[in-house]
Amino acid sequence: MIKLGVLGVGDLTDKMIRGLSRSGSVATQIFLSPRNHDKAAALASDLQCTAMSSNQDVVEAADVVLIGVRPAHLVELAQQVTLKPSQPLISVAGGVSTADLRRLFGERDCSRAMLSYASEINRSTVAVYPAASLAAQLLAPLGTVVLLATEREFELATVSACMNGWFYFLVHELQQWMTEKGVSSEQARALVFSSVEDCVAYSRHKAATPIDELGRSIATPGTYTAAGLEALAQQGGYTAWRAACDTVFKMLVQEQQ
């Protein structure tokens, strides 16, 4: 039974805890920090976890500590706790390097993980650095583990986690367009979701074929798909997505200099 102490019970860790509990596949006992009392109390009442009365109590009860605060709150958190010697630490704080984590919390086994809200239903991407770390083992029930060999690659995985967020807005935009044209909101949602799922499923099925090749096999000259693609390119659709990726990656890399 691994005792996991969660420092920072927020939107993401709430879903991770629910997913870990839901999976039933890991023997994990969970201890929660008291700040954001309502969330911790709801988790403690819904699941087998314990809301503690201080951050240090969480540390004392835990074998492994999961840091779930926002980067801006890390210094304050580090001042509130003294981790046990060699107590491993897993952080989901975006853009905070393992070197910075060691500087703040002391020399120890530090790993980083990047997940999404789909942790709650055990369908998240679970990006982990370093590859051989406790995080991969402990968080595997939350979805598909992707091991990153370098911290730079991990930051790129963080960009892909942002893509996950952007997809919601893209899907919403497409759904909105359909409803504006007269399709019911439910039908528009079903049609757009189904299109996305179908694309992912077929691409997985054709794993050996490059995705752009699959796309080109659909958007052959003269098709409606090709006409739409041309409009996307003309309006800077692809450039805009690349710019979003560049913006986030630059921020992540700069934060570590």
Ligand X SMILES: NC(=O)c1ccc[n+]([C@@H]2O[C@H](COP(=O)([O-])OP(=O)(O)OC[C@H]3O[C@@H](n4cnc5c(N)ncnc54)[C@H](OP(=O)(O)O)[C@@H]3O)[C@@H](O)[C@H]2O)c1
Interface of this chain with ligand X, residues 65 to 84, rule: CB under 6 A: 68-71, 73, 76-77, 80
| Closest distance of CB 64 from ligand X, Å | 16
Task: Give the H or E element holding residue 243.
Answer: helix 237-255
The per-type count for the chain, helices as H runs and strands as E runs, is: 11, 8
What type of residue sits at position 197? Answer: E
Measured distance CA(71)–CA(94) in Å, rounded = 7
| Closest distance of CB 104 from ligand X, Å | 12
| Closest distance of CB 164 from ligand X, Å | 8
Q: Is residue 42 close enough to count as binding ligand X by CB under 6 A?
A: no
Q: Tokens in use for 161?
A: 């986690």
Q: Is residue 19 close enough to count as binding ligand X by CB under 6 A?
A: no
Interface of this chain with ligand X, residues 161 to 180, rule: CB under 6 A: 161
CB nearer to ligand X: pick between 36 and 179? 36
**CA nearest 129: which of 160, 107, 156?**
156
Q: Is residue 92 close enough to count as binding ligand X by CB under 6 A?
A: yes
Measured distance CA(156)–CA(148) in Å, rounded = 10
Task: Give the H or E element holding residue 16.
Answer: helix 11-23
Torsion angle of the four alpha carbons 27, 121, 15, 255, in this order, in degrees rounded to the nearest 10: 100
Interface of this chain with ligand X, residues 206 to 225, rule: CB under 6 A: none
Measured distance CA(154)–CA(114) in Å, rounded = 8
CB nearer to ligand X: pick between 103 and 206? 103
Q: Is residue 87 close enough to count as binding ligand X by CB under 6 A?
A: no
- Count of residues of this chain found to bind ligand X when the rule CB under 6 A is applied: 25
Three-class SS state of 145: strand
Structural Rg of the chain based on CA atoms: 21
CB nearer to ligand X: pick between 77 and 90? 77
- The closest residue (CB) to ligand X is 10
Of the residues 17, 101, 114, 142, which one makes contact with ligand X according to CB under 6 A? 114
Q: Is residue 11 close enough to count as binding ligand X by CB under 6 A?
A: yes
Residues that bind ligand X (CB under 6 A): 7-12, 33, 35-36, 55, 68-71, 73, 76-77, 80, 92-94, 114-115, 117, 161
